[in-house]
Amino acid sequence: KQEVTQIPAALSVPEGENLVLNCSFTDSAIYNLQWFRQDPGKGLTSLLLIQSSQREQTSGRLNASLDKSSGRSTLYIAASQPGDSATYLCAVSSISSGSARQLTFGSGTQLTVLP
C-alpha cells in the first residue's frame, strides 16, 4: 500500500529565504505526483503536477522535482514571502491502484514565512 511522508511537519523561515519541502513515497510505480497548497479552513489549490516521465515542473517561484526511483519529490520555493504561509501537501497516484484518478496524500508541511 502506498504511503506518502512529508518531513518536517512544520517549518518557519524568514522572508526572502529560498526553501525546500520534501515528500517521499514508498511505491515508485506512480502515474504522477501533485503538489497542493492549503490555507487554513480552505480547500486545496493545485500548484504543480509532475507526470512520472518528467523530472521537474516550474511555475513562477515554484519548482517541483521528481526522482521516481528513490521515491522522492521536492518543492522549491524561491524568495519566500509571508503570503506563501500555508500547508503544502503532496500526493501521488499509484499504478497499484489501477488508475491515475486516485491520489494518496501526505499529511503536509505547515510553512510559516516570517516578515
Task: Tell me which of 71, 80, 86, 106 binds another protein, using CB under 8 A.
Answer: 106
Considering the complex, what minimum distance in angstroms separates the CB of residue 39 from another protein?
A: 10
Which part of the chain contacts another protein (CB under 8 A), choosing from 22-30, 56-64, 69-77, 95-103?
Answer: 95-103
The residue type found at 54 is Q
The residue written with cell numbers 486545496 in the block is 44
Size of the site for another protein (CB under 8 A): 25
The residue type found at 84 is D
* Binding to another protein, residues 27-56 (CB under 8 A): 31-32, 34, 36, 41-46, 49, 51
CB 35 within 8 A of CB 109: no
Binding of another protein by 95 (CB under 8 A):
no
Secondary structure letter of residue 42 according to DSSP: S
Pairing mode of beta strands 10-14, 56-59: unpaired
Q: Residue 64: how many CA atoms within 13 Å on its side-chain side?
A: 25
Interface positions with another protein (CB under 8 A): 4, 31-32, 34, 36, 41-46, 49, 51, 89, 91, 93, 99-103, 105-108
